[in-house]
A and B are shown apart, each in its own frame.
Chain A
């Protein structure tokens, strides 16, 4: 061992003579101050500087996700497809619920299932993301917000993959969407924000109070029936429609159906605005909560 170190002893002394050469130029650029509550200052700039890490983490989770599975990314197709079949049979055929206008029931279900499964996956993945990356958090500094955002990103990729099913369904039913389809990215964006807001809020709380680990599967399970996934939100009585829109996914799912299926579906504006407001509120609450707790994650995890 000591022979290894001997190399450096000599250098330690040599360094002392040479250090003036380049150091000063560099040093002025960055001065890092560590103080209680200090990390607040350049938060968003820091987040931007670490975008590389964000990309890498998202990419890692995507490429690891289906490794050592036999059918790989096909899982992203099979799950929503089977759910759609079951919902179409149960709600459309057995319960005999009406579709939106003349749209085939399967297509309507799938247009709702797309944003919902994105939301559900994103929520589940984000809520565990910090704990799952505990080794990183306790060993390296980076803006912690990167971790849940990367998790939502991964769910988003799955979401994009399952679009293939939608296209296949449209071809099968020979259904051509109207001009509204151009607004789809807007609603996808809202879905992204809704998952991120709720997800970030819960992931922060989950680090401190592990109770939330048990709440999430429950929310996801209940939410599937509370949100208009297997049925059209038009069957909700009018006087309850606004209250129903408190669920941010109602606005998103309705928006998706309007964009994709167009035609007979009408956008329920007050509901959409309320859903947007709820989404915004959760995003604000989530980020606030996250930033408040962020500095203690390493101590708690």
Chain B
């Protein structure tokens, strides 16, 4: 059809990943190490001469981040891309925004494309707000005149008039994000590619931003592709959904049905424990990432079934690769339909002691009290973020668990009719 603005045909992308075989052997003999290192050097030299990529490690594997993904987007459609971590969502966005090339396949985009994979890309802390608006605008592809024309509007929008000539390193994190958002909101592309940036900023400001982007898009029929971990956002924002699983297209179609399929998908671990392997290798840019999450029952055993009369723990193991300030870890419990019941977050300390433990793993436990959640099936989502700034790592949903009734006053009724949580509220009667 003529109003197809994005046509993607069999896009594939592969990366070379190296492993260290030595770490798996029980004993290491010096002789073996020497042989292996010599072989490694020989291979790297050959790679170097042939101009190929040098990969660390001695077992090289080709890893397909995306395989044969094809879809079409029509003008004015809002396409939401969902999938677990490592499913290839970001790779797809990077290919569509021309940051990286596909290994195979072809995509045709008709119209001016702007991609927003991060809020405030290129912001320089030493520069003032005014200077950063021009810098960021140019990076996002706006001409100087265009920025100058919209300058007052952007400043008013970000509500930073008083601080416009202050270096942004003195800004509060909220102001920083507002300014960055404001520039992005004044972009006028025909195709907009967005990665998770809607997750930052306070709700009031987000609303304003979306309103602004929308006002422009309604006039021009802007097409949007966005990645989000937030299923309710996908449901409400998008007209079309695309579900990626391990680099392959699982389903594309009406947003609601795609989200439903994603949530119902059996891939969510039911054993009570989920270990995230190779997370650090795949995402070297992550400053903090989870290595495992598990449910511990009252006997401190890993289990996906816990008793309603006993408290249990969500155990998070994570690693800090780079010190970032103001990081919060969070756990969100959701119903099996993806409705959030509650979230609990905790700010990580950022003192010197913590810095010395870089790259080391740490463990923390969140206690969920007894007689709190109704018996039933739940999902756990875990995340690490700097509030309103950036998501470092998200697993949505990471685990599924079951709360079994071992002594509620409700008998075998349909618990969901009673609600999602149990509380023992005081009842008083007038005499």
Contacts and interface: CB of A to CB of B under 8 A. Distances in A.
Real complex partners, A and B?
yes
Interface of A: 1-9, 11-16, 18-23, 26-27, 30-39, 52-53, 55-57, 60, 63-64, 67-68, 135-142, 208-209, 292, 295-296, 298-300
B110 interface: yes
A3 B208 CA distance: 12
B237 interface: yes
A64 B132 CA distance: 12
B100 interface: yes
Given A1-B230, A56-B139, A139 B118 contact: yes
Question: Considering the complex of A and B, which 5 residue pairs feature the smallest CB-CB distances, nearest first?
Answer: A19-B221, A19-B76, A5-B236, A141-B98, A56-B138
B206 interface: yes
A36 B217 contact: no
A140 B122 contact: yes
Contact of B203 (A1, A15, A60, A295): A1
Contacts of A60: 124, 127, 131, 135
11 contacts: A5-B236, A8-B236, A12-B76, A23-B75, A23-B76, A23-B111, A31-B110, A36-B103, A53-B138, A138-B99, A295-B100
B48 A209 contact: yes
Interface residues of B, number: 69
Interface in B369-392: none
Given A12-B238, A53-B138, A22 B99 contact: no
Contact of B53 (A11, A55, A296): A296
Contacts of A12: 76-78, 237-239
Contacts of A6: 236
A186 B3 CA distance: 53
A83 to B, nearest CB: 27
Interface of B: 3, 5, 15, 48, 51, 53-54, 75-78, 94-113, 115, 117-118, 121-122, 124, 126-127, 131, 134-135, 138-141, 143-144, 190, 203, 206-207, 210-211, 214, 217-222, 230, 232-233, 236-239, 285
B200 to A, nearest CB: 12
Contact of B99 (A14, A32, A298): A298
Contacts of B139: 53, 56, 136, 140, 142
A9 B224 CA distance: 13
Given A4-B206, A140-B121, A27 B211 contact: no
Contacts, number: 186
B26 to A, nearest CB: 33
A293 B90 CA distance: 21
Given A5-B236, A34-B109, A37-B101, A21 B221 contact: yes
Contact of A26 (B102, B111, B117, B232): B111
Identify the interface centre among A12, A64, A295: most chain B CB within 10 Å of its CB.
A12
B144 A9 contact: no
Interface SS, A side? helix
A37 B101 CA distance: 8
Contacts of B233: 1-2, 5
Given A5-B232, A12-B238, A52-B144, A64 B220 contact: no
A138 B3 CA distance: 30
A34 B98 contact: yes
B3 A34 contact: no
B207 A3 contact: yes
A299 B15 contact: yes
Contacts of B53: 208, 296, 300
A292 B196 CA distance: 31
B379 to A, nearest CB: 17
Nearest to A37: B101
B390 to A, nearest CB: 12
Nearest to A300: B53
A38 B203 CA distance: 41
Given A8-B210, A12-B238, 19 more contacts: A5-B232, A13-B239, A21-B219, A23-B221, A26-B111, A27-B5, A32-B110, A33-B108, A33-B109, A34-B96, A34-B101, A37-B101, A52-B144, A60-B124, A135-B118, A137-B99, A139-B117, A140-B117, A141-B98
